[in-house]
Structure 1
Amino acid sequence: MTGIQGATMPEIKTTLDRMIHAMEGRFTKGMSPASLLLAYMDWLIHMGHSPGKIAEMMENMLRKHSAFLLWASRAPFDPDIKPFINPLADDRRFKDPAWSKFPYNVISQNFMLHEQWWHYATTNIPGVAKHHENMVTFSARQWLDMLSPTNFALTNPVVANRTLTSGGMNLVQGMQKLVEDLQHSLLEEPPHEGDLKVGRDLAVTPGKVVYRNRLIELIQYSPTTEKVRAEPILIVPAWIMKYYILDLSPHNSMVKYLVDQGFTVFMISWHNPTVEDRDLSMKDYTQKGIMAALDTINKIVPDQKVHAAGYCLGGTLLSIAAAAMARDEDHRLQSVTLFTAQTDFTEAGELMLFIDESQLSYMEDMMWEKGYLDTKQMSGAFMLLRSYDLLWSRMVNEYLLGDQPTTNDLMAWNADATRMPYRMHSQYLRLLFLNNDLASGRYIVNDRPISLRDIRAPVFAVATLTDHVAPWRSVYKIHDLCNTEITFVLTSGGHNAGIVSEPGRPRRSFQIGQQRAEDKHIPAEQWLQQHQKHEGSWWEPWVGWLESKSTEYTLPPEMGSPESGLYPLCDAPGNYVLEK
């Protein structure tokens, strides 16, 4: 049976389903109601069939609450009373000394007691699928984060003190900021971008765009030394954000640092996709991205191998390209560096909460409507993973304390989000996150599977200790997949700040170790214990490693290659990085 404009009835029904899911997704922030319901039903059903666990939970509640009531009865009369519950090492919510005074110490300790009980109630239920348990635990934590006493003026001593000292002006200023933010949200106006501008304050390392296609601009940076290493460096950033995380301000630009150390540096700048790019695939990102960039570099710096470095998703793509090149006897890579890049997704952290068949089907329907994954949907997922840092603490500081938000270079970059094409993002989530095809040797490039074991170029892999996006133990799995020399670095900081770790920055440290192809496997926890901590920036040993893998010094190459038809098109940072 044929419907409107030649569409068949099944196609019309499928389109209707997708439209409904897309509209729902605007209210659920991309979370599949079916997936959440399945998780809660799994938990409830198994909880109902575990009377022993229920009895244990009730006994735990009565015992802990009885002890807490005794502690709380002493708290008003003992200003030096020790906490009933010590917060976790990374819990900064109650660090202010005001929280140790009555009655706020009782309020905060009571909240932490309930947090502790809910964690106990949502974990280790016999029979509950691990994925469902993680979703229920995560959801419970989100609700508790929202109800934290830090988020309310009457129960937050820091807000109470500020209100008294300012005569309530903090609340007036906070209300003005709230009204402004609501106006931007309701009218879909872009928020104030701050004083830092790309090309003026950020991404200012001198260079030229020497190649452009539908997907990338390739930037070649101007040399600052009389001679350079013969092997150039190609950096492949993630396209989930703009490339200039690696070229922020002059003092913390990785690009500038490498150029000043005598390297010829090339950077891929990705096009920000629109609805016209909905059918761009992972294959396009490999061929029109990395391979096109390598072909261009080979014309500018002929007869030289290339040091390739990939960041996050760009590192995963680089590992795919490197494996395909090794399979096809393409030996143009001198080395491979991976910054917080996952190649095995079995332990990909809390992002896996958003990855199952129901979630992906739902997300695909949302992307189908627009042709891309919206920046708001991506930022919403990351905000949930770090709700205290990215949501609640910001609301307290701006709406209750009345503090004016300050913007540094990293914050300005973080606000400059990009979109993800429908087809590519669907393939990325299904093939890598859901099916783990790359680690399993099932990932197809040019109609044939690839294996990371084929890579023979030495690998330098960097992970960050507090990474919520690519947990370091997940990044460490590169040791299980590659049959080559691997130098592994675990550095302090998170997914972004741990990578932007220029020399001279205080409170930075790292651990480093090397595994040869013939060495036996070392488990991640054992590696952590065996390797000593070094103070300072990991950039310095990385540059030393690159130099050890390089050959002689030569004169810097031309900007572009006129004889090959590669003329400088415009100054860095180019046009694609400015696309909104």
Structure 2
Amino acid sequence: MIEPQSIIPGDFDDFLDKYRQGMKIVLEGARAETGQTPKEVVWTKNKAKLYRYQPYAEKRHRVPLLIVYALINRPYVLDLLPGNSFIEYLTDEGFDVYMLDWGIPGDEDAGLSFEHYVMDYMRRAAHKVMRTSGTEEFSLLGYCMGGTMSAMYAALFPERLRNLILLTAPVDFATEHIGLYRLFTGEKYMDVADFVDAFGNIPGEMIDTGNRMLKPVTNYIGTYVTMWDRIMQDKPMETWLAMNKWVNDGPPFPGEAFKMWIRDFYQQNKLVKGEIRLRGRRVDLSNIRCPFLSIAGKKDHICTIPQAEAAMDLISSEDKEFFVLDAGHVGLMTGRGAKKGLWPKVSGWLGPRSK
């Protein structure tokens, strides 16, 4: 709650300046320079780009790391701002970091499915990572839906995969695990084929609204209460602006991939049943035998702990760990505790396994 004295300071001109600042953000949207860690594009396919980041420190780990994000939202949340960037941290730790940016799909991409993304895009990107780094193996880190996709890739192409890390990655979509998503995705409430026929690609704003409605007070009211409080109290705004920009910057979800995501995962839970097939090949998570780390958040309402933990019983790795942080889906990556929680955990686990 913002105290009245913080809203109406003694200097009325100062108050008007702050009011104008806040209203400009409300009306025009948040602006921030994100994704500033130096990088180069080393491969492209359609809208997708593969970035290689320039390490600030001497490269200390031989095995390169490929990061894969979800098809929704933009991956620069991993490289938010200098000093608040997971990628900057990893490069400073001496990792050879690559990230696959899916780009912004157009209407002509509505037919893209997980078959294309996993078997074409990810497979070719992985080969480019190894060729560019001069190695015969690589590590894979998938975040959110990108983690689910990474698990499928690891099951289909385990040969050169050195390590696998899944961050808040849903694997088990049983009704009792998915919380309020069952109201949005259940067959009783959504005919996904008709939905995709009507829209083609699903607008990013629609996906964002669905996610926000899981916690409407926090997401719609709390966000701007925080904004006004920071402005009126002269608190730093950089991180708030960057996060608000990211939240409102969701790309469209390719229609065919969305159809599969809802039907095969949320409605039929085929991944844990071993019933997902990509171009006729069954996705069997027991094929994964490399060192494995899965990380979940206690406060995550997008990927619950049971959704993420299910992978532990499905993969065959002997070296595997399930780690839980006291954070939410995004907060574990960019929140105040990320620098002491997630970031050093990933670096400490991955470093000795990347020699």
The alignment's TM-score, normalised by the length of structure 1, stands at 0.54
1:368 to 178, 192, 197: 197
Residue of structure 2 in register with 1:486 after alignment? 320
Which of structures 1 and 2 has the bigger CA Rg? 1
- Alignment-mate amino acid for residue 349 of structure 1: G
Q: Distance in 2 between matches of 1:318 and 1:380?
A: 26
Percent identity between the two aligned chains: 26
Q: Distance in 2 between matches of 1:161 and 1:208?
A: 49
The answer to whether the 8 Å contact 1:454/1:483 transfers is: yes
How far does residue 180 in structure 1 lie from its aligned partner after superposition?
Answer: 9.8
Q: Distance in 2 between matches of 1:220 and 1:291?
A: 16
1:499 to 305, 325, 333: 333
The answer to whether the 8 Å contact 1:324/1:445 transfers is: no
Question: 1:291/1:175 Cα in 2 relative to 1: closer, same or farther (>3 Å)?
Answer: same
- Alignment-mate amino acid for residue 348 of structure 2: G
Q: Distance in 1 between matches of 2:320 and 2:56?
A: 30
1:345 to 173, 193, 216: 173
1:441 aligns with 2:274: yes
Q: Distance in 1 between matches of 2:135 and 2:19?
A: 61
Residue of structure 1 in register with 2:97 after alignment? 265
Residue of structure 2 in register with 1:428 after alignment? 261
Q: Deviations over 1:95-127 (max 9, x none)?
A: x6xxxxxxxxxxxxxxxxxxxxxxxxxxxxxxx
The answer to whether the 8 Å contact 1:216/1:288 transfers is: no
How far does residue 325 in structure 1 lie from its aligned partner after superposition?
Answer: 1.4
Q: Which structure shows the higher helix fraction?
A: 1
SS of 1:359's equivalent in the other structure is: coil
1:541 to 342, 345, 352: 345
Q: CA RMSD in A?
A: 3.2
Question: 1:160/1:338 Cα in 2 relative to 1: closer, same or farther (>3 Å)?
Answer: same
Q: Deviations over 1:10-35 (max 9, x none)?
A: xxxxxxxxxxxxxxxxxxxxxxxxxx
SS of 2:83's equivalent in the other structure is: helix
1:227-306 equivalences under 5 Å are: 227-306=59-138
Q: Distance in 1 between matches of 2:79 and 2:107?
A: 28
The answer to whether the 8 Å contact 2:59/2:96 transfers is: no
The answer to whether the 8 Å contact 1:312/1:341 transfers is: yes
Q: Is there any run of 5+ residues in structure 2 with no aligned partner, and where? A: none
SS of 2:150's equivalent in the other structure is: helix
2:212 to 363, 373, 383: 383
Q: Distance in 2 between matches of 1:226 and 1:179?
A: 43
The answer to whether the 8 Å contact 1:464/1:491 transfers is: yes
- Alignment-mate amino acid for residue 368 of structure 1: D
- Alignment-mate amino acid for residue 356 of structure 1: G
The answer to whether the 8 Å contact 1:459/1:486 transfers is: yes
The answer to whether the 8 Å contact 1:319/1:452 transfers is: yes
Q: Distance in 1 between matches of 2:53 and 2:21?
A: 44
The answer to whether the 8 Å contact 1:309/1:339 transfers is: yes
How far does residue 274 in structure 1 lie from its aligned partner after superposition?
Answer: 1.8
Q: Distance in 1 between matches of 2:190 and 2:306?
A: 24
The answer to whether the 8 Å contact 1:364/1:422 transfers is: no
Q: Which has the higher contact order (CA 8 A, sep 6+)?
A: 2
The answer to whether the 8 Å contact 2:30/2:244 transfers is: no
The answer to whether the 8 Å contact 1:463/1:491 transfers is: yes
1:466 to 296, 299, 303: 299
How far does residue 175 in structure 1 lie from its aligned partner after superposition?
Answer: 12
1:200-219 equivalences under 5 Å are: 202-219=34-51
Q: Distance in 1 between matches of 2:170 and 2:258?
A: 16
